[in-house]
Amino acid sequence: MTETYRFRVEKLIRDKLPAIMRASGLRVFERTLEPGDFIKSLEAKLAEEAAEVAAAGDREERLDELADVMEVVLALARAHDFTPAELEARRLAKRQARGGFDARVYNAAVEADEGCPALAYYLARPEAYPRL
């Protein structure tokens, strides 16, 4: 008797993958997500793909992973009823107002005296900005 193996996947996959997987001999147990679950799954997929960018070993792998990140970002934009043009316009506006990442600036810490209006932002986010 042949042993059957089943593996838990529990993640969002690209549309054509079930057919590709079936063609390779796998049995696939997929379902279509409701809008709220779809957005949550896209958010999880974005984190997964970002981690894969960080772990990429060479130029081609990094390019593939960055393309995956863009696909997820565009899907998230569409899920929130944003067009790619709106997303790009907002990206450019933020770049104009705050800059990009071209100068490679890294902020190690900030400091503020009591009464500084910007202090409230950091105090409200202790998990992101722990006090030193």
- 111-115 long-range Cβ contacts below 8 angstroms, 24+ apart: none
CB 74 within 8 Å of CB 84? yes
DSSP state of 7: -
Please give the Cα distance from 91 to 125 (Å, whole number): 24
Q: Walk along the chain (132 residues) and give the pLDDT tens digit of each residue.
A: 999 999 999 999 999 999 999 999 999 999 999 999 999 999 999 999 999 999 999 999 999 999 999 999 999 999 999 999 999 999 999 999 999 999 999 999 999 999 999 999 999 999 999 999
Please give the Cα distance from 15 to 30 (Å, whole number): 11
Helix (H, G, I), strand (E, B) or coil at 89: helix
Q: What is the DSSP string of 12-51?
A: ---TTHHHHHHHTT------PPPHHHHHHHHHHHHHHHHH
